[in-house]
Structure 1
Amino acid sequence: MNISDVAAGRVCPASYSYSPTSFARPPDLLADVLYVVGGLYGNRFALAEIERMARREATPAQLVFNGDFHWFDVDPAVFESIEQTVARHTALRGNVETELAGEDERNGCGCAYPESVPDADVERSNSILQSLRETARSVDASMKSRERLAALPMTCVAQIGDARVGIVHGDAWALAGWRFSHESLHDASRGEHFAAMFEQSALDGFASTHTCLPALKTFDTEAGERFVINNGAAGMPNFEQTRFGLITRLSTLPVPCELTAARVYGADVAGIYVDALAVHFDTDAWDREFERLWPATSPAHVSYRRRLVNGPEFTADEALGRTPLRACLSIAA
C-alpha cells in the first residue's frame, strides 16, 4: 500500500481549513427558530420528517443543512430527490459534498478519520464515496448538482435573537475537523483552548456534525456562557437501542408542545434554547431502501447496518459528558 492509499480518508486537506477569526463577521442569516441538519446521509424519509417537524413550530423553522446530506443515496433518483429538497433551504458542504464535486481521488471520502477508526472502516468509506461520485456524475448533465455542491460555503453565521452561532460541518478550524467530537469537547484540559476559540470567533456558540456521535457542551467564559452542540447524525441512530436521528434546534422560543416528546436534551444558554430533537422517521421504509441500495456484503452494509438497526454503543449521558469518555472506535460505534 502506498502513501496516498494510507492517507485517503485520513488526512484533512489544506483546502478544508479556515480560522476561528473568519466567523467575526456580520450574520449570514437571521432566525427565530433554526434547525441544523447534519449527517442526513441520503435518508429521504428522515428528510421528510424534518420538514414536517419544521412546519409544526409556531414560527416555521428555517433549515440549514451543514453537510453530508448525501451518502447512502447511490440511486440517481434518490440522489436527485435529496438534492432538489436541500436546494430549497440553506446548505453548507461537508466532506462528502466537497469530494463529490471534485475529481481528486487522493482525499478518499475526505473524512479525516482519527486513528481510533479502523483502517477497514476507512477503506469502505472511500469505496462508498467512489460509488456516490459515479451517481453524481450520472445526474450532473441535467442537474449540474456537482457545480452547485462545489459552490456551497463551508461555514455560516446565524443570528438567533441576540446570540451569534457559527454553523460548521466539522469544527472551528476545518471542514473535516474532529475537535467538536464528544471526547474532545468534554476533555477538561481543553477549556482554555475553547475559550480562546470563542473570543477569536466573536460567537456565542457553534453547531456542528461530522463526527460519529453527538455532544452538547456548555462553557463558562469571562464573556459569559458559550456552547457547542454536535447533532451526530440526522439520518442515522445516535444512541444504543434506538432508531431515530438527531437534529439541533436553536431558538428564542422553547420547544412547542407538539414537539416536546422529540426533545432528547438541551440547555438554555447564551439567551437561546439549544436542543437536540429526535427525528422519528419511517424506519421500515428506510430499511427497505437501504437494503435495496446497499445489499449484504456491500461496503455500506458492512459498515453501517448494525448501527442502523441497533444504534451505536453510545448514550445521551455520554453525549452530555456525564460518564467517562469513550472514543469512537468505528463507524458503527
Structure 2
Amino acid sequence: MAMGEADLNKERLELALEAAGLDLWENDLITGNVTRKATKTFEELGFTEDEIVSGVQDIYGLFHPDDIDTVRRAVADHLTGVTPQYRCEFRLRSKSGEWIWFANYGRIMDGHSETPGKRLIGVTFNIHDRKCRETEIAQINQQLTEQNRLLQQLNATLERLAANDSLTGLSNRRTLMELGAKEAKRTERFGHPMSLLVADIDLFKSVNDMYGHLAGDRVICAVAQVCAARKRSGVDIVARFGGEEFVIVLPETDGPSALQVAESLRREVETLLVCVGDEGQEVAVTVSIGVATLHQGSGMSFEELVNRADQALYQAKGTGRNAVYCADMPPAEGGVVEQVPLDLGGGGSQP
C-alpha cells in the first residue's frame, strides 16, 4: 500500500514537472555522481540516450565558456551556505552547435543543522525564448540610446548654429538681444552698471570693392578674433551685429572702464595686417567704436542702450574714424585718434 502511494506521488510529480516544462536532476554530493540525469534537457539539445553524459564534471563541457565560472560560483555559494538556493542561468551547446539558454534551480536535501546534506536536487528549464526577447529588447534599447545621443548632439549643433554667426562663430544678433536683455534686468536688479561697445570696421566697403567679398570675410573674421580674445569667459557677450559691425556687452563695467576696453581694442585692431589676396596682398584695418553705459534706474532697455552706443559710433566716425566715442562723456585723452586709412590705393568717404 505504501509503495502504491509512493508510485502515485511519483506519477503526480512527473506530471507536474512535465506540465511546467521542468527537468528534474539529482547529484550525489558524496560521490559526485549524477543520480538522476536531466534527460529531457539533453534530448532537447539533440543528444541520443547513449550520448547523454553521466558525470558532473563532463556536464561542464557543454557550458558556454563565458558561463562556466558563473555556474561554478553559484553552486559553490549554495554548497557553502552563502545562498539558500542554487540559481543560475547559462548556455548549453546543442549537438548541432547552437547555444541554448537554460536555467537551474536547486537545493541541498537530506541535511540537518549539524549534518550537511548529501544530495543536490534541482530542475532545469528552457529560457531561450525569454533570453532572445531580452537580447532583442536590449538591442532596441541600445539603438534608442544611441539615437537619442545622436539626436541630442544634433539638437546641440542646431542650437549652436541658431545662436552663433556662421562666419565668425560669435553670437548672432538674435542671441545678443536675448542675452543682453537678461543682463539689463540684472543691472536693474543688482545696481551694477553695464557697458556696451559697438565697433564698426572703417572703410570696409573699399575692401569688398577692390578685393572681393572673400577678402572682406577675412577682414571680418580677423576683427572678430580680436574681439573674442578680449572676452571674459562666462561674463561678456561678443556678437556680430550685422555686416562689419560688432557688439561687446560688458556686465558690471562702468563708463570709464568700458572706454579703456574700447581704446585697447581699437589699438589692437590698428596693428592688424590681413592677407586678402592669393599673391599675399595685405590691408591695414581700423575700427571706430561707440560706448554707452546702463545704470540702475535709468529706465533704458537693452535695445535703447544698443541704439545709444550706435549713435556714439557715428560720432566716432565723424571725428575721422579709427576712434572711440562715449555717449555719456567726452572721449578720454587719446580716445580719438586721427584716421589711419586702409592701404587701398584710393581711400574714399565710405563709413
TM superposition score category, shorter chain reference: under 0.3
TM-score, normalised with respect to structure 1: 0.24
Of structures 1 and 2, the larger Rg is shown by 2
Structure with greater helix percent: 2
Higher-RCO chain (CA-CA 8 Å, sequence separation at least 6) = 1
TM-score, normalised with respect to structure 2: 0.23
